[in-house]
Amino acid sequence: MITTSHYLVLSLVLFSLGIVGIVVRRNFITVLMCVELILNAANVNFIAFAHQLGDLTGQVFAVFVITIAAAEAAIGLGIIVALVRLKRTVNLDQVSVMEG
């Protein structure tokens, strides 16, 4: 029988893989994809608890999370396009303008 805990474990694994990707990858585009992965893991949590509690508020907030994810993707990809115009690279190690 599938319980909420199964979904939480799946969400945990997806979230961890997203964090690992952000830390490990140096390609800006892949890092953005990992952020999408993390937001999706948050959505799995929202839906799992909405299902367990029989309350639709979690589903409403999943809609908001998806909206924010779309806005974040648009901004991030806009930054990538501007970055490639200025620096001709998407490697995060080569764009440490702010000494990060």
Partner 1 sequence: MDFFVANFAAIVFYALAAVAVAGALGVIALRHPVHAALSLLATFLAVAGLFVLQRAEFIAAVQILIYAGGVMVLFLFVIMLVNVRTLPDESQFLRRLAPVAGALGVLLAVLVGIGAWAATSRPPADPAPLVQVAGETAGNTEAVGWNLYRDYLLPFEVVSIVLLVAMIGAIVMGRKELQEKEGRP
> Token match 């999706």: residue?
40
The distance of closest approach from Cβ of residue 98 to partner 1 in the complex, given in angstroms and rounded to an integer, is 16
* Distance in angstroms (rounded) separating the CA atoms of residues 92 and 100: 10
Tell me which of 42, 45, 47, 95 binds partner 1, using CB under 8 A: 47
Residues 59-88 that bind partner 1 (CB under 8 A): 59-60, 62-64, 66-75, 77-82, 84-86, 88
DSSP secondary structure string, 37-89? Answer: HHHHHHHHHHHHHHHHHT-THHHHHHHHHHHHHHHHHHHHHHHHHHHHHHHS-
The distance of closest approach from Cβ of residue 39 to partner 1 in the complex, given in angstroms and rounded to an integer, is 9
The distance of closest approach from Cβ of residue 96 to partner 1 in the complex, given in angstroms and rounded to an integer, is 13
Tell me which of 42, 89, 96, 99 binds partner 1, using CB under 8 A: 89
Q: By CB under 8 A, is residue 37 in contact with partner 1?
A: yes
